[in-house]
Amino acid sequence: MTTAIPGYTAGTPTVARSPVSLADFALMQKSVLFGDDDVRALRQSYDVVEDQVEAILDVWYGFVGSQPHLLASFTNTSSRDPIGDYLAGVRRRFGQWILDTARAEYNQAWLDYQHEIGLRHHRAKKNQTDGAASTAIVPFRDLFLLVVPVTTTLKPFLAKRGHSTAEVEAMHAAWVKSCLLQLTLWSHPYVKDGDF
């Protein structure tokens, strides 16, 4: 299924090794209080979000599309118009990201792909995957702050399958922590050498 998504290269030789080690990532998990219960909660959320991916993306894309400063990262540098093909390509990979997040499989291939995602938001590799004539970088301030709207708007979807309030809260907390971890990993290209 994932091989049919253009530009989704997780686990392939085209993805470079992450400069962040698995040992470093384990320490990051401790910093955000992410543990085995969170892994279980994320994996529980997989069955909840699996058939809601498009609806979740509709909400997230609706939010980004309603904010000109966020939509700017998907616009043509000449016309300033949104690039439909670029938005569609990113959307397919974003949908896979939802499923990958819910799988909570933290191995070397996953860690490497997080670095690749970071590079694709940064001027190091932005636009290359889709051959887009768009802005050179997703501003860091926009990237990191999206944790709040993404996780806040996800919570109602987590509550749609009849889980207890405690289970929904656990799944939501695990998603918040996972998003913070991933966004921190994605920030590596933005951080001055030696400062990460």
* Residue 10 forms part of a structural domain: no
- What was the pLDDT predicted at 1? 47
* Residue 59 forms part of a structural domain: yes
CATH number of residue 46's parent domain: 1.10.490.10
- What was the pLDDT predicted at 61? 97
* Residue 81 forms part of a structural domain: yes
Q: Name the β-bridge partners of 75.
A: 82
Distance CA 151, CA 33 (A): 17
Q: Name the β-bridge partners of 134.
A: 76
* Residue 196 forms part of a structural domain: no
DSSP state of 180: H
- What was the pLDDT predicted at 3? 57
* Residue 12 forms part of a structural domain: no
Domain that holds residue 43: 19-190
Query: How confident is the model over 51-97, as pLDDT tens digits?
Result: 999 999 999 999 999 999 999 999 999 999 999 999 999 999 999 99
* Residue 4 forms part of a structural domain: no
* Residue 1 forms part of a structural domain: no
* Residue 9 forms part of a structural domain: no
pLDDT-derived band at 162, boundaries 50, 70, 90? very high
Our count of domains for the chain comes to 1
